Amino acid sequence: MLAYTLRRIGSAIPTLLFIITIAFFMMRLAPGGPFDRERQLPPEIEANILRAYNLDKPVYEQYFDYLINIMHGDFGPSYKYLDFTVTDLITTGFPVSLRLGMSAILLAIFVGVFAGTIAALKQNSVFDYMVMGTAMTGIAIPNFVMAPLLALIFGVYLSWLPVAGWGGGAIAYQVMPIITLALPQIAYVARLTRGSMVETMNSNFIRTARAKGLNERIVVIRHALKGGLLPVISYLGPATAEIITGSVVIEAIFDIPGIGRYFVNGALNRDYPVVMGVVIFFALLIITLNLVVDLIYGFLDPRVKVE
């Protein structure tokens, strides 16, 4: 297990380097610069500013300097948030994004697994068709469409929940963002659970368990669920990363001070260090979560050997 983990970490280094390289040069190729929106400055002052941030060097020198800095854990200062480093912004914003993302994924697991399991046990029934139809609707409607609809209905028309803001982390301010993030994942988890459970319930070991006279509830909980949830476990790694990273749009819509808002503002303002720092952070998060899921998968299914 340790050797497998080390190999995965070693193989992740070239992937991370590739992501850093692509993101770095794409940011530089985009039109505009970090100080283009400032008032017109005398050439000597503008040259001093560029020199202070090493932007006067050739791009390839900036690239190698950046690699050396991030190897020392230095993501640089923000060009737009004065007196803040990129590390400060990530440290401030990520707990908010993590709180929303983890709440959404837990809601998706609970509702999706429950609905998918019941749909599988009542295959081809009205409930099964309702669950699958609702799941397809949830997949088809993107969250950037669902968010304004929820805000319009529950925030404006019914006045049940605040439309935007964080409110110091009050529950009322989190309800709509969490539901918006969770709805597509509930749909995916329900469909995965339903398909896997239908296949598992028709397996030979389930027939054997029933032939031994076990209660149907025990058959489902102790035997069918363990095998039926394996595809869901595989999906949860990238899904968790997708929810946390996908909160970029949701945080902008609901005006939530998470890492996504810094990323959007950084991209609009050509704040290179902020964009690069968030991209690297999200890449590390996705790689780590995929590794964790693979290790859990091997633990749950004895047939899977990491060697």
CATH of the domain at 250: 1.10.3720.10
Provide the domain count of the chain.
1
Percentage, residues of the chain above pLDDT 70: 88
List the one residue out of 62, 101, 46, 41 whose CA is nearest residue 256: 101
Q: Is residue 281 part of a domain?
A: no
Q: Taking the CA atoms of 77, 80, 83 and 85 in sequence, report the sign of the dihedral they define.
A: negative
Q: Is residue 284 part of a domain?
A: no
Q: Is residue 179 part of a domain?
A: yes
The structure tokens 């803001």 sit at: 165
Its domain, for residue 110, covers: 91-256
Collapsing DSSP to helix, strand or coil, 239 comes out as: helix
pLDDT in the model for residue 1: 65
Q: What is the mean pLDDT of residues 131-154?
A: 82
Which pLDDT band, with edges at 50, 70 and 90, does 79 fall under? Answer: confident
Q: What is the DSSP letter of 90?
A: H
Which pLDDT band, with edges at 50, 70 and 90, does 43 fall under? Answer: low
Task: Count Cα atoms within 13 angstroms, Cβ side, for 254.
Answer: 38
What's the chain's average pLDDT? 80
Q: What is the pTM of this model?
A: 0.74
Q: Is residue 278 part of a domain?
A: no
pLDDT in the model for residue 3: 76
List the one residue out of 245, 255, 236, 256 whose CA is nearest residue 282: 245
Q: Is residue 171 part of a domain?
A: yes
Q: Is residue 98 part of a domain?
A: yes
Statement: residue 41 has pLDDT above 80 = no
Q: Is residue 186 part of a domain?
A: yes
Q: What is the mean pLDDT of residues 191-201?
A: 83
**How far is it, in rounded angstroms, from Cα 258 to Cα 65?**
28
Which pLDDT band, with edges at 50, 70 and 90, does 36 fall under? Answer: low
